């Protein structure tokens, strides 16, 4: 992740940007940090409270999401609740948010939906990915992972999407939007959280993502987004196959 200096409530901070220099905005908020040192906490500031300052785009050492600090962690901070426990209003709001996000993607971008699943954690696991190319074609893939954790399934699904893009010879210069319902994956691969486990898998994905113009987005799962539901079906097919290994 790259950073530029910005002003937030009278203080100078670092704000996260894409490789082309545009601020990273998710749900009206932008990742910020108060220090350029390794391990510093990364917060999410309201877009309206942040003013970008003149200066160059820089690479900074990895930080740690403030949301991973137990005292700061707030379940359901998205306001959408959790899958299987959402109210009707929360589900409707989550679906609307995802639909608005997807509608704003550039028409020349490849749009990917990824999901992981397991029966038990760890347990028989699988990954699924759906890739929609700008020409309208849709590519799908699933993988059975044997016994693994849900997080491994979610991470592996990102790799499946990248595999499909590579095989389709989709140009590394074109935009790629990846939607995941895993805050763990989003934090690690988009916000630069420090990896405490699955480090080899994460390092490999980060290297592959650096070779493309990719942005990851968190979307709520199981709210009726067709491609997301399909990725879930594929991941569960991987679980079924893993159970027979």
Q: What is the pLDDT of residues 133-188, one digit of tens each?
A: 999 999 999 999 999 999 999 999 999 999 999 999 999 999 999 999 999 999 99
Is 231 part of a structural domain of the chain? yes
For β-strands 123-132 and 110-118, DSSP reports them as: antiparallel
Model-level pTM?
0.70
Q: Which of 133, 127, 210 lies closest to 168 in space, CA to CA?
A: 133
Distance CA 219, CA 113 (A): 10
78 — pLDDT class (breaks 50, 70, 90): low
Q: Are residues 135 and 194 in the same domain?
A: yes
Distance CA 217, CA 26 (A): 7
Point out the least confidently predicted range of 7-11, 50-54, 79-83, 234-238: 79-83
Segments in 104-182 forming alpha helices (H):
150-167
Q: Are residues 105 and 196 in the same domain?
A: yes
Q: Does position 52 have pLDDT exceeding 80, yes or no?
A: yes
Domain that holds residue 207: 88-243
Tokens standing for 146?
A: 């044997």
Q: Which of these three, 68, 103, 120, is where a domain ends? A: 68
Q: Are residues 120 and 235 in the same domain?
A: yes
Q: Which of 218, 111, 115, 114 lies closest to 175 in space, CA to CA?
A: 111
Q: Are residues 48 and 128 in the same domain?
A: no
Is 77 part of a structural domain of the chain? no
Distance CA 101, CA 111 (A): 11
Is 140 part of a structural domain of the chain? yes
Distance CA 137, CA 65 (A): 36
Point out the least confidently predicted range of 8-12, 94-98, 106-110: 8-12
Is 173 part of a structural domain of the chain? yes
First-residue to last-residue Cα distance in the chain: 38
How many domains does the chain contain in total?
2
Q: Does position 82 have pLDDT exceeding 50, yes or no?
A: yes
70 — pLDDT class (breaks 50, 70, 90): very low
Say what percent of the chain tops pLDDT 70: 95
- Catalytic residue annotation: 115-116, 154, 181, 222, 232
* pLDDT on residue 83: 79
Contact 125, 145 (CB under 8 A): yes
* pLDDT on residue 65: 80
Q: Are residues 63 and 159 in the same domain?
A: no
The CATH number covering residue 201 comes to 3.30.420.10
Q: Are residues 127 and 189 in the same domain?
A: yes
Distance CA 223, CA 69 (A): 28
Q: Are residues 32 and 94 in the same domain?
A: no
The CATH number covering residue 25 comes to 2.30.30
**According to the per-residue pLDDT averaged within each range, which of 14-28, 48-62, 69-83, 150-164 is highest?**
150-164
CA of residue 32 relative to chain centroid, distance: 17
């Amino acid at each position: 992740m790259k950073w530029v200096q910005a002003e937030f409530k009278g203080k100078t901070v670092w704000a996260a940007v894409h490789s082309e220099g545009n601020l990273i905005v998710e749900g009206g908020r932008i990742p910020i940090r108060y220090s350029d040192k390794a391990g510093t906490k990364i917060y999410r500031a309201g877009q309206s409270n942040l003013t970008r300052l003149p200066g160059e785009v820089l690479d900074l050492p990895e930080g740690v999401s403030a949301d991973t600090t137990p005292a700061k962690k707030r379940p359901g901070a998205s306001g959408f609740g959790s899958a299987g426990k959402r109210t009707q209003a929360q589900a409707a709001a989550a679906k609307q948010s995802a639909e608005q996000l997807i509608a704003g993607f550039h028409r020349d971008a490849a749009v990917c939906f990824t999901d992981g699943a397991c029966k038990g954690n760890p347990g028989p696991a699988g990954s699924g990915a759906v890739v929609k190319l700008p020409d309208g074609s849709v590519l799908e893939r699933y993988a059975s992972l044997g016994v693994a954790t849900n997080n491994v399934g979610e991470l592996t699904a990102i790799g499946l999407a990248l595999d499909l893009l590579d095989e389709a010879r989709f140009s590394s210069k074109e935009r790629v939007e990846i939607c995941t319902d895993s805050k763990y994956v989003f934090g690690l691969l988009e916000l630069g959280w420090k990896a405490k486990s699955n480090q080899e898998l994460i390092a490999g994905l980060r290297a592959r993502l650096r070779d493309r113009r990719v942005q990851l987005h968190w979307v709520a799962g199981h709210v009726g987004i067709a491609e997301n539901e399909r990725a879930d079906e594929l991941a569960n097919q991987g679980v079924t196959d893993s159970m027979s290994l």
